[in-house]
A = this chain, B = another copy of it.
Amino acid sequence: MHTPLCDELGIEFPIFAFTHCRDVVVAVSKAGGFGVLGAVGFTPEQLEVELNWIDEHIGDHPYGVDIVIPNKYEGMDSDLSAEELTKMLQSMVPQETLEFGRKLLTDHGVPLPEGDDNALQLLGWTEATATPQVDVALQHPKVTLIANALGTPPADMIEHIHESGRKVAALCGSPYQARKHADAGVDIIIAQGGEGGGHCGEVGSIVLWPQVVKEVAPIPVLAAGGIGSGQQIAAALALGAQGAWSGSQWLMVEEAENTAVQQAAYANATSRDTVRSRSFTGKPCRMLRNDWTEAWEKEGNPEPLGMPLQYMVSGMAVAATHKYPDDSIDVAFNPVGQVVGQLTKVEKTSAVIERWVQEYLDATGTLERLNDAANA
Interface residues of A (CB under 8 A from B): 1-3, 174-175, 193-195, 201-208, 210-211, 225-226, 228-229, 231-232, 234-240, 270-272, 337-339, 341-342, 361, 363-364, 366-368, 370-371, 373-374
Which 6 A-B residue pairings sit nearest by Cβ, starting from the closest?
A: A206-B226, A235-B235, A195-B204, A234-B238, A204-B204, A205-B206
Protomer copies? 2
- In the assembled complex, the Cα of A226 lies from the Cα of B235 at a distance in Å of 13
| Least CB separation from A237: chain B residue | B367
| Contact in complex: B237, A370 (CB < 8 Å) | yes
Say what secondary structure dominates the interface of chain A.
helix
Q: Does B370 lie within 8 Å of A367, measured CB to CB?
A: no
**How far apart are A243's CB and chain B's nearest CB, in angstroms?**
11
With A174-B271, A175-B270 already in contact, 10 other A-B pairs whose C-beta atoms are closer than 8 Å: A1-B370, A174-B270, A193-B204, A204-B226, A206-B206, A210-B231, A238-B364, A238-B366, A367-B367, A367-B368
Residue from B211, B225, B368 in contact with A271 in the complex, judged by beta carbons closer than 8 Å: B211
The minimal Cβ–Cβ distance linking A167 to chain B, given in whole angstroms, is 21
A363 in complex: contacting residue of B203, B239, B338, B339, CB < 8 Å: B239
Residues of B within 8 A of A270 (CB): 174-175
- 13 interchain pairs (CB within 8 A)? A194-B194, A203-B272, A206-B226, A207-B226, A210-B342, A211-B271, A231-B238, A235-B236, A238-B367, A240-B363, A364-B368, A368-B368, A368-B371
